[in-house]
Amino acid sequence: MSVSVTLPALGESVTEGTVTRWLKAEGERVEADEPLLEVSTDKVDTEIPSPAAGILASIKVAEDETVEVGAELAVIDDGSGAPEAPAAEAAPAAESAPEAAPAAEPAAAPAPAATEAPTAPSTETEAPAEAPTAEAATGASSASGTDVTLPALGESVTEGTITRWLKQVGEEVTEDEPLLEVSTDKVDTEIPAPVSGVLLEIVVGEDETAEVGAKLAVIGAAGSAPAAAEAPAAPAAAPEPAAQAPAAPEPAAAPAPAAPAPAAAPAPAPAAPAKAAAPAPAPAAPAAPAPAAAAPAPVTPAPAAQAAPSGDDGAYVTPLVRKLATENGVDLGAVKGTGVGGRIRKQDVIDAAEAAKAAAAPAPAAAASGGTAAKAPKVEASPLRGQTVKMTRMRKVIGENMMKALHSQAQLTSVLEVDITRLMKLRNQAKESFAAREGVKLSPMPFFVKAAAQALKAHPVVNARINGDEGTITYFDSENIGIAVDAEKGLMTPVIKGAGDLNIAGIAKKTAELAGKARGGGLTPDDMSGATFTISNTGSRGALFDTVIVPPNQAAILGIGATVRRPVVIDHPDLGETIAVRDMTYLSLSYDHRLVDGADAARYLTTVKAILEAGEFEVELGL
């Protein structure tokens, strides 16, 4: 029976989506709810899960093609013919066993003349014959356990490096418990255990790189743990090809086949040397130990020779590590890597940065006495220099929306200065008790969102939309405020629904939740839709103010500049006009002049300014 995969509704105003990547190919098996493809809309990028388990029979919409909501994307065979398929595959596998045995016998014949030798190879040749069958059926270990695979970690991420295993073989894990840490060129993240059980096998070791979808480990029930020790008995046949290799080419050809073997089968390679020590005495043939000793000889020095210069400028360092070093002023050439062969890891840079801070601790006293200028941070060239890369789907969508907004609206910007000294004092007084009570940090952002939302109630013209085709204006009765977030993939704008009805704590929690989703790739289409007004905190990176672009279907956007302490003339009740150091910031309002006049913009900004400068938030902060 065939099951159709259709494009679901991905948001309130989303009518179509573009297929950016198929995660499965035709003929591959897919499980129910397993990510099947990636789809991009003008709101968000997301994965479409498989509606049923089975075989991907047909792909109807190719990558980079756009279809409407409800369109058929693919067809899945739900497995009505599945029982016959494995049987058909098992038959060739069984037939290949006799072929493998004769192939192994000629190679084994010239090796030893002992009577025990024919017996040992005959049992070992069965293991390779079973191995392909086991792999076709997702592995012997998978039969009694669940595979842990490397998930998709971003739109353009194709591989990841295992930085640390948080559990060892034989240890118990619970579902969703962090199992390992993975590093990509975009982000470091933890991979949770898909099920509860015992970690039976680690397939990919630390500092090894695997592609998305690759098997990393196997988790089974507690009773399966002893079976894991027996499971590597099949890989023990790995020395057998090594023993056969010297039989055909005698001199230098022996190391050559040994090197590709681990490269072609990285999964059993780590387990084979560890478990092969026990079976090694079983085939008492003198030729077997010799290749086993010779095989590591060419393999081990090779990575060491390549990884030795990891601390030098010419060695490969992941963009993530390089960025971290730049931000912390760490010279990579002076860092000693603790990874395989001296590879520099993220933790090495962090340790070096902390050591530098500790060494520089007495520096302020010396600087105060000597009056020396602060040392300029080291600026390192980006690896993107001189490259031409394909524009990501997210970057294209952002660009198209910005061009559409600029070309469809009459935009201009008004700027106003705000004294937030009182607000910052209140925040500093309340931030510790607030964090303990509410479970989130108290940043200045919730105060700005609160003030902006309250002012929108008094100035609905700023919280409105022009319905161009109808020649009408909609004044919204709720304040759904989009918050611009600087994420790895680009600018994301999740929406705080009903911000005008939330207090400071509610806004702080929702802001932290949405920002975390944006940076972690967990935003849903609903999180990204429905904004009636937007706030962009351009000051978070030090900008004094910005002429931000009004998003499509909105009337205005508020930009928040950096907070700067500087001398300002104030009117003191006792001292009259005097100069004092104050916390100052700029607010910039970009608006669509077709709907909002300059006076409207100024009135709105003045209301926001009055709310912020009054700083009457004591009750909400518990002060």
Active site residues: 593, 597
d(CA 195, CA 216): 14
Nearest to 244 by CA among 133, 130, 100: 100
∠ CA 433-436-439, nearest 5°, is: 130
At which residue do the structure tokens 């607030």 appear? 434
At which residue do the structure tokens 């309130």 appear? 12
For the record, the structure tokens of 583 come out as: 């916390």
d(CA 156, CA 498): 34
SS3 state of residue 582: strand
462 close to 436: Cβ distance less than 8 angstroms: no
Check residue 444 and report its DSSP letter: S
181 close to 190: Cβ distance less than 8 angstroms: yes
Nearest to 272 by CA among 308, 322, 238: 238
Start-end of H helices in 439-584: 445-458, 504-520, 525-528
Length of the chain: 623
d(CA 36, CA 191): 19
Q: At what angle do helices 598-614 and 445-458 cross, to 10 degrees?
A: 130
What DSSP assignment string belongs to 462-477? GSEEEETTTTEEEE-S
551 burial level (CB within 10 Å; 0-12, 13-18, 19+): buried
SS3 state of residue 304: helix
Across the chain, which distance is largest between two alpha carbons, in Å? 110
What DSSP assignment string belongs to 247-300? HSS-STTTHHHHTHHHHH-TTHHHHHHHHHTTTTTSS--TTTHHHHHHTHHHHT
157 close to 186: Cβ distance less than 8 angstroms: yes
